Structure formats: structure tokens, C-alpha cells
Amino acid sequence: MSGHESRELRSNKKNKEISKTKEVTTTKKAIKTKKKVKKTRKSKTEMEL
């Protein structure tokens, strides 16, 4: 039992680390998309004018 538990704890730690890196990448992507959205909004307003 003890060996199995330690294996689960290790996998949980790895999963937590992976989720942290995923969150960082998603936030970076979100920032990029926000910048793109701002650019598209500017172009739309220019076309309206």
C-alpha cells in the first residue's frame, strides 16, 4: 500500500506542475488574443469613420 500511495503522490505532484505550466501558457495566449482583439476593434472603428 505504501508504495502505491507514494506513486500516486508523485503523479499528483507532476499533474500540479503541469497544470501550473498550462495556466501560464493559457494566460500568455489570452494576452496575445486580447492584443489582437484591440487591433481589430481599431480597424473596425476606422472603417466606420
What pTM did the predictor assign?
0.38
Q: Which helix (H) or strand (E) holds 1?
A: none
pLDDT value for 15: 85
The rounded radius of gyration (Å) of the Cα atoms in the chain is 21
Residues of the chain with pLDDT under 70: 1-2, 36-49
Helix ranges, the chain (H)? 2-48
Q: Which three cell numbers stand for residue 1?
A: 500500500
